[in-house]
Every structure is written in C-alpha cells, then in structure tokens.
Structure 1
Amino acid sequence: MIDWVRTLLFRIVFYGLSVPIVATVPVSALFGQPVVIAHATVWTRFHRWAARVFLGIHIRIEGERPVGPALYASKHQAMFETLELQALLDGPAMALKQELANLPVWGWAARRYGALVVDREGSSTALRRMLRDANAAKAKGRSILIFPEGTRVLPGEQPPLKPGFAGLYRMLALPTVPVACDTGRLLPKRGAKHPGVVTFRFGAAIPPGLSRAEIEARVHAAINALDTPTSRGR
C-alpha cells in the first residue's frame, strides 16, 4: 500500500508538472540545439528529484566514462534510464522510436534536439537516415546513446542486439561504452514502483574496428552484467 501511495504521488507531481515543461520544448527548439538540450536536461533533473523524493529511488554509478564523445549502448528496462542517461551523458544524441518522432510539433522539436529516429521495421531508408544523423552528431562532438536490444525488456530478458547497432559502430568509429542497469527491478512497467537503489554500470570502453560478431557479443554480455537471477524484479 505504501508503494502505491508513493507511486501515485510521483505520477501526480511528475506528470502534472511535466505537461508545461514538455509543451514548451518546441519554443526552446526555435532558439537552436543548445537551448533545447538545456531544456531537456532541466526536465530529466526534475525527474531525478521526483523519483528520489516520492519513490525513494536512489542512483549508484559504477565504472567511469571516457573523455570525449562515445557510442553508449544501454540496457533498457524502464523509462527511468531514457531520462537519467540524458543528464548523466550531458545531452547525447539519443535513439527515439518512430512513433514519437511522428508526433506533431513535439517530433520536430525532438529532431532539433538531435534525436536518432529508429524504425522498428528496419527499412533501409530509415537506417540510412539514422546513420546520417548519428554522423552529424559526432561531427558536433556529441556522444550517441542507443538501446541496442531495440525495445524495453523485462528483467531476465536478454534478446539479441538489433542490426542497426553494428552499422552505427562500424560507421562512427567511436569507442563504445556498454551500460548495464537494473531499473526494471524497482520500476516495473505496470504496478507500483518500489524504493531502493538502481545501478548504472559503465563498462570498459571497447575500441572501434572489431568484427560484428565480436562487438555484439561483448556489448550484449556487458549490458546484461547486472541481469542476474538475484537481481531480477518482482
């Protein structure tokens, strides 16, 4: 019952105050990419505060990030990491599913932010566009953040990586940093959220130039490093 009360309070405060924050993103986007990135960072830090105060969620960081831009490949178990990593990685160009990019006005603002639109159907045209946008972000010195399994998964699920990851790795020639997280353990998609500590583990940077089989195997193992039987969620 306490967890449900916490969850309801979080939803009221976070989503209620997010409406004006998100609604004004298109205005920020008119002033250029740095402004819309700063706007997004304000929202993600508000989310961190609300999760800590109302849900009792605290964050533990393990590992170190490399200096300079990198390709970050993260596990995806909850909405939490899509927001938290935006702040932790200083506004990276982030993968965004096609459905969100198609939203009127907001989708345009997301593209101004530098979102990489992911077509889950895997069309060649959409893949080429995503590669082009990622290369443009790299040229500006930004890191790239993707969720290489392609979608949100439950704790314990370890699907293979989507083909687009290997294409990005080969084209960008950036160090690749796998990110493991166990957010699904406390933040299930449905039902009450639970207080506790979620961990983000930055793995050792993997150099460019490896074969597709090797990079996929190393990233897959690293992003699932926290997904052990003892850490699987309720």
Structure 2
Amino acid sequence: MSDDVGIIHDIFGVDEAIYLPTKMHEVMLDKDRREEAFSRYIKEYSCDPSVDGFHDYYMAEQAERKTNKQDFTPNAVSDLVAGLTGSNHANFVFEPTAGTGGMMIRNWWEGIQSLGPLGMLFHKPSSKFYWLEELSDRAIPFLLFNAAIRGINAVIVHGDSLSREVKNIYFVQNTEDEPFAHSSINVMPRTDEVRRYFNVDDWVGEPLEHIEDELELDGIRILANS
C-alpha cells in the first residue's frame, strides 16, 4: 500500500494525504493538468477501467469513517445490484451516495460487457447518463476523476441529498461521444433555472466558475467562457 500512496501523491504533486483532495480538485478543473494526470495514472498506477483504482487508497488514507461513517461498497455487491436491477441496460442511473464512484464504475462496466467481447470499442458514452450525489468534500475530486477518465456523462451534485443544501453541481460531459475519449468537467452556474432543475434548497459556500464547453441539459443552455 505504501508504494501505491507514493505513486498517487506523486501524480498530483503532494507530500501528505491531507493535501490530496484539494490539489486533486484543482487539477480536475484544469484541462491540461487533468489530461497529464490521466496519462500518468494509466501508465504508472492502474490501467484497469473496470474497478475504482483509488478504492483501497481512499479507505486507508481519506475515508471519514468517524465523522461521516464512510465505508464503500465492495465490487461484488455493486455487481449484484446491477444484476438485480438490470441497471446495466438502463440509460439513466441515479445514485444519491456515490462516494468515489465504485458503483458507477461497475454499472458502466457491466453495460460495456453486455455488448460482447469488443464492447469497449463500440459502446456509445451518450447511451447512458448518471445523476450522482455526494456530500463529502474529500470524495468529490475522486468521483470527478473516475467519471471523466472513463468518458462518462454525468451530473455530480456536491451536497446533501436530504436537505438539498448544495455546494456545487458539476456537469461531466464526453463531448466527442467516443468510447476512449475523456470527459470535460464543467460547473453549473447558480442561476434560478439551475436551482429549480436540481431542486436546490440553498447554496453553500462560494460558487465556482468553470465552464469548458457548451452545455445543453434539458433546455438549460450555457456557453463556454473559455
């Protein structure tokens, strides 16, 4: 495990685990640095897209077990849920406690496997959309990483699923709709339209302003600012 910690910390340029979530979030909102991190992660740490490569690291170094009772779903349980619900064939998936994305990844992978041995080559990212919600500040950067590196299309609501107090809403989008393309990461603005659509009761903290491409979500249209 110590070797894994060293590799992960080196990819994001930190010396201690406490600094990783903040630095990782910073990298996720910088396209060039994000792509560099993706390349290093695949080459130096994990090239298996079917599992959350951060699972063991997060549980050992980042999980808020005492304060937020964080424990993450084993792959076997995620596979069982996908099989029982038939969610590998659904084009919309909702998960209110997404963590770092373990269940999302297994659902995504089951869908690809259902296409046959060459499913990874021929699946269309636009055929499935994820609505994910997560409260933990530490988990959000890992969830963004896991969705974007796999080219997944998703909305990620960073906030409380019950109280609807929300910090930020991210729109992760595979603009090329290609199976091996990475997704862009955008932050939805705090407009009245966005608030109503996502049932936000209250915004928490300072807003982030980060839009990488043109967004269209059920009539909500946002133009890139860069």
Q: Same fold, TM exceeding 0.5?
A: no
RCO greater where, 1 or 2, for CA within 8 Å and sep 6 or more?
A: 1
Greater fraction of residues in helix: 1
